[in-house]
Amino acid sequence: MSKEILQAVEVISNEKDIPENEVFLALESALATAAARKKFTEDVEIQVDIDRATGDYKTYQAWKVLDGDAEEVYMDNPEKELWLIDAKEIDPEIQPGQYIRKEIDSVDGRIVAQVVMQVMKHKLRESERAKVVAEYESKIGQLVNGIVKRSDRNRIIVDIGNNTDAVVNKEHMIPRDPMRPGDRVRGYLMEINPENKGPLLILSRTSKEFIKQLFTLEVPEIGDGLIDIVEAAREPGVRAKLAVVANDPRLDPVGACVGIRGARVQAVSNELAGERVDIIIWNENPAQYVINALTPAEVASIVIDEDEHAMDIAIPEDQLSKAIGRNGQNVRLASDLTGWTLNVMSIDEFNAKSNSEIQDMVKLFMQQLDVDEEVATILAQEGYSNIEEIAYVDAEEMAKIEEFDEDMVQEIQSRAQDLILTKAIVAEESMEEREPSPELLNMEGMDERIAYLMAGKGIITVEDLAEQSVSEILEIPEINLPENKVADLIMKAREPWFAASSEGTGSK
């Protein structure tokens, strides 16, 4: 078989440009595995050496030499390892990490032929896949063109040329997209998966990046950097929104993306199985951006809640269905595009909610600032929504309110600041009251951090702890102790109970 081995190495090396030594190493590993399976039932180390010039080969059982005097060195398998002191009896020059080897019979020619064929197939397959990875690594994030090779419900296999296939899995297929063998198709190259047994290249037709790349291809102004695509939102195969901005004020970004008679946007829509695409202008002002995103509906009013990152949006009754869209599609895409939670409602609903919120604010200001209803109403209508805003807003800004003078502004802000200070003092006193008792802090097995966490939940004394169950303590997530540790602490806290019970029994 020596001749056949040399011929196989030469064929694989020349045809697929793989170094000969790499092929020899693969053959040695495969022959060693075959020998181990045929000749041994236990786990052993088998090594094969192939003469690179003649193709002759020898097989050895090997034992790795371990240094018995080194710390943290353990023998895991006596069938594969040998202590240095024993190895030196065989080879006085041997060093730790080297191998003691004993020649054994090699596998016969029939098995060798099978191994050679398997290695050839494996190496050829590995070589093809390595070339695909090398060619397409730099193309991740780009469009890939191909022809549908075959398709089913779960995936589409696309021939992208040079005997290379890519796959569009079900979750990345546009619903109701009629793909048949022979159809031309584009996809967005998401990733290369070397672990995949099938095609290495994973394409998507549903990602936001796919539609961005399609517009970059269709609109030269985007490719030239004159127009930027800021964001996109999609419901694949149904509708999409694209936010664009022009870097040249003379350009109309929407018109450029739509094209003459809609030619550019229609070309993209055709690629996306008829997906309708709305092009809107991005704006750095969140409210105006949302107004643009809700196109084609008209917006009457907007109230922004920065804390909740949400907006209440008033829409005229005859525009409400446009703003919401079929099954909420338009408002859902606008929310995804802008990143804001959008609460779309009619003008009547908007006014009712605003009035309700104003009334709540009026009651709050009357109660906490001790002002009459008229003053509280003015504050609420001017947009103040909490005591902190009133306390720390620039006095000159509040003085611009027509009904207020400087003295009134000073009095209102003074009351607001006093209220905040009072709340802070009360909170601090409350925290002091919740400090753990010295007995709990010093209890055997108690940790200071755990004691303070318990005190924060009202468990301040040893007696308090004794009255708790294990499950009640485990419900305090910050404590994060094992169940047995909690049980030990509770039992320690209960020791006085058992001592008192024992004394009572003894007196009888």
- In angstroms, the CA 103 to CA 59 distance is 6
For residue range 189-244, what is the model confidence (pLDDT) as tens digits?
999 887 767 778 999 999 999 999 999 999 999 999 999 999 999 999 999 999 99
> Which is the CATH superfamily of the domain at 438-507?
5' to 3' exonuclease, C-terminal subdomain (1.10.150.20)
| pLDDT in the model for residue 432 | 55
DSSP label at residue 460: -
Q: What is the 3-state secondary structure (H, E, C) of 359-390?
A: HHHHHHHHHHHCCCHHHHHHHHHCCCCCHHHH
Out of 190-204, 274-288, 331-345, least confident range: 190-204
The confidence score (pLDDT) of residue 329 equals 92
Nearest to 185, CA basis, from 207, 202, 168: 168
12 and 120 Cβ atoms separated by less than 8 Å: yes
pTM over cut 0.85:
no
Give the DSSP per-residue string, 68-81.
TTSTT---S-TTTE
- Predicted confidence band of residue 438 (pLDDT cuts 50, 70, 90): confident
Quick one: pLDDT at residue 245? Answer: 96
Q: Which long-range contacts (CB under 8 A, 24 or more apart) does 469-475 make?
A: none
Domain 283-385: top CATH class: alpha beta
CA distance 274 to 270: 5
Beta bridge partners of 134: none
Query: Which residues 6+ apart lie within 8 Å of 415 measured at CB?
Result: 369, 370, 371
Band (pLDDT 50/70/90 cuts) for residue 262 is very high
Give the integer Cα–Cα distance in Å for 324 and 301.
Answer: 15
Q: Which residue has the higher pLDDT, 50 or 449?
A: 50
Q: Which CATH number fits domain 140-206: 3.40.190.170, 2.60.120.260, 2.40.50.140, 2.40.110.10?
A: 2.40.50.140
The stretch 297-324 carries a mean pLDDT of 90
pLDDT of residue 433: 58
Asked whether the beta carbons of 124 and 16 are under 8 A apart, the reply is yes
Q: How far apart are the first and last CA of the chain?
A: 98
**Residue-level pLDDT at 430:** 57
CATH number of 2-128: 3.30.1480.10
In this model, does residue 258 exceed pLDDT 50? yes
- Say whether 203 sits in a helix, a strand or coil: strand
Mean pLDDT of 346-355: 88
Indicate if the alpha-carbon torsion angle 188, 189, 195, 199 is positive or negative. Answer: positive
* 8 Å CB contact between 456 and 434: yes
Which contacts of 346-354 are long-range, i.e. CB under 8 A and separated by 24 or more positions?
346/314, 346/315, 346/316, 346/317, 346/320, 347/300, 347/301, 347/314, 347/315, 347/316, 347/317, 348/317, 349/314, 350/300, 350/301, 350/303, 350/312, 350/313, 350/314, 351/314, 353/312, 354/303, 354/312
Average pLDDT of the residues in 16-27: 82
pLDDT at 55: 86
Q: Mean pLDDT in the chain?
A: 87
**pLDDT for 508:** 41
The identity of residue 22, as a single letter, is E
Q: Is a pLDDT exceeding 90 seen at residue 367?
A: no
Domain range annotation of the chain: 2-128, 140-206, 283-385, 438-507
Q: Which residues pair with 130 in a beta bridge?
A: none
Nearest by Cα to 364 from 346, 345, 344, 388 = 388
pLDDT in the model for residue 507: 44
DSSP per-residue codes, 24-66: HHHHHHHHHHHHHHHH-SS--EEEEEE-TTT--EEEEEEEEEE
Cβ atoms of 295 and 321 within 8 Å: the answer is: no
Measured distance CA(506)–CA(344) in Å, rounded: 76
Lowest-confidence region among 179-193, 317-331, 478-492: 478-492
Asked which of 115-124, 306-315, 385-394 is least confident by mean pLDDT, the reply is 115-124
Measured from the Cβ of residue 423, the count of other Cβ atoms closer than 10 Å reads 12
pLDDT for the residue numbered 427: 61
pLDDT band of 426, cuts 50, 70, 90: low
Q: Is 281 strand, coil or helix?
A: strand
User: How far is CA 69 from each of CA 74, 75, 91, 235, rounded to the nearest angstrom?
Assistant: 10, 12, 18, 67
- The confidence score (pLDDT) of residue 98 equals 92
